Structure 1
């Protein structure tokens, strides 16, 4: 794949990274599954035992964090076997401590702001800082997480804590245990015995995959349009860029422009300006590259897992120190020189992660 030079990335200054020097390690779900096999003594888990030991040691050292993403939660919900979900969730909880990456949409918004600041040589003082890392499913969805005590519409958590019969420390412990139970339940999903009651109350475990299937179908339709208009194959990356901007960021882009008293025409002054703007956003560059290559492989049919992978890697590759993904994605990213440009290690095997940890 022909590849332009590494763009001048507009790293969002309002996305707050860990200040403690910890390294961020992102594992695709298939690698979490391998670690779970090692942890449970599965007959195929033996080869992954060294990696499990290395990952546990790294997590316990406090020098490495192993964050989950919203994609992990979505993919976990599609695993039908409750025992398998519980085994995977147990390793995830042990290693990650329910540390999660910020929602992709929130990161995209901050990248849009940063890209405009870079383009117009301005600042974004009206944008509040947001932590890249947080705790639990709430942060992964871009919402305020954690349990709170409410009386009607009023948050009375602090008042309840101050008046707790056994004291504030006991209240904190109770709330922490309750939060851990909720996070554990969300990640592992329901047991077979819990399913009927949940479904009776409207629970639907297929939602995430159906959304991904709808998006995969949209890409299949896009592939058909490309086949019907061969002229666009020579400008496929441009097509993918514009489609990303139209479907993913146009609303946040327009709002950010209005805040600055600017107009969309000032961004789209030429084909080159659109390219530079889109590629300056790190997660957009990863997304565009993966989608472009997927469309160039005309023998490959789009599946929901492709959507999950692209969403996850769009955040993990720019903002983690090492990403352990599957072999195909690793090859595509390295062919495009993205790991080098983003100063991120991208590897396809757990043994590669073990070697990386040994070198640190």
Structure 2
């Protein structure tokens, strides 16, 4: 049966997620745009990317914009087989992002679940320590602090070296080493080193893709079920997608959160209407910003029976689930742009979605100075 449910008009923002003050505005760039801007130096960039790269540089240099990176960038970089091409792309990435990363979707989801349950209970937000949305390390995207540490057995090697060099020189040295480490992590090994690193078991960039492929296969299997029951695509498609998102992506995190609160699953079920008030359950998932984006994108792709699910769809959804609600502008690829623009429930975020490089160039030029 068709659903008469309207997506709620607001979301529950996680109080423990520390979003940076504006300016600078946060702009998310899809990998293909970094690649096209890197092509400017060799004269093969598509139309508009030379102007976009200069606009990004200017807005970054004068503090009007920052271009934080998603955790999925590592998988996308590994698809570039040429080490020289990876170096060229990383040079642009480094210039615009300064290796600042958005915290990953799992960490965002955990904070959103906390906030959503607090809202159900009518409680004030948790007093626990806040977590910044943006951190200056690749490890930050995976829920870790990042940064090099000097260690040695039997003594405080870092303090000893600091005493020898002085605070200023020590901090300069560590900043340089950390920058080199971030650059190397993202660029990956050159052709001569890759074989040796693979043999040693320390380099296997395809492993994350295997997990993403498993998740893509789950969506292909769901698409087959919709093919066998086409009435779902004409009716309560969002309900089906939202329920699967709850079970597959949220269920384990929710269970941990309930355990931490000494709260039973039965109590949560009661708060969500006990299986009788469907709107409460829908509003619970739609109230979490990243989950709303993920459900909206999956709903859009599942509505088209011809859509061929790939692992790229999965990591695009993971990246956009964070970028769409928490960044000021999102410049993605054509398919994702269409999905985002076609989802009315995402208008609540008021995120600028340029379609062409010239549109983002113009938008950047109009950003206010800090």
TM-score, L = length of structure 1? 0.93
Q: What is the aligned partner in structure 2 of residue 266 from structure 1?
A: 270
Q: Distance in 2 between matches of 1:193 and 1:140?
A: 29
Alignment partners' CA distance in 2, 1:6 and 1:359: 32
Q: Which moved more, 1:311-320 or 1:201-210?
A: 201-210
Instruction: Name whichever of 321-330 and 336-345 sits farther off.
Output: 336-345
Cα distance in structure 2, aligned partners of 1:326 and 1:356:
18
1:325 correspondence with 2:332 = yes
1:197-243: per-residue Cα shift (whole Å, max 9, x none)?
21121111211222222211111111112222345332221111111
**The 10-residue stretch of structure 1 (304-313 or 121-130) with the greater mean CA deviation from structure 2:** 121-130
Look up the match of 1:171. 170
Q: Which residue does the alignment assign to 2:122? A: 121
Contact 2:7 / 2:286 at 8 angstroms: preserved in 1? no
* Aligned 8 A contact 2:329 2:352 in 1: yes
Equivalence for 1:10: 12
- The 5-angstrom pairing of residues 93-108 of structure 1 reads 93-108=94-109
Selected match of 1:22 from 7, 21, 24: 24
How many Å separate the matches in 2 of 1:162 and 1:292? 55
The answer to whether the 8 Å contact 2:16/2:126 transfers is no
- Residues 301, 339 of structure 2: 8 Å contact kept: no
Structure 1, 181-190 or 315-324: larger mean CA deviation: 181-190
RCO higher in structure (CA 8 A, sep ≥6): 2
CA-based RMSD? 2.1
SS of alignment partner, residue 347 of structure 1: coil
Give the length in aligned residue pairs: 357
Answering whether residue 220 of structure 2 is matched by residue 213 of structure 1, we say no
Aligned twin of 2:91: 90
Q: After the TM superposition, which parts of structure 1 deviate over 6 Å for at least 4 consecutive aligned residues? A: none
Alignment CA distance shift 1:193-1:172 (3 Å): same
Please give the alpha-carbon distance, in whole angstroms, between the structure 2 residues aligned to 1:268 and 1:339: 23
Q: Tell me, in whole angstroms, the C-alpha distance in 2 between the residues paired with 1:271 and 1:61.
A: 49
TM-score, normalization by structure 2:
0.91
CA positional deviation for 1:24: 0.3
User: Where in structure 1 are there 5+ consecutive unaligned residues?
Assistant: none
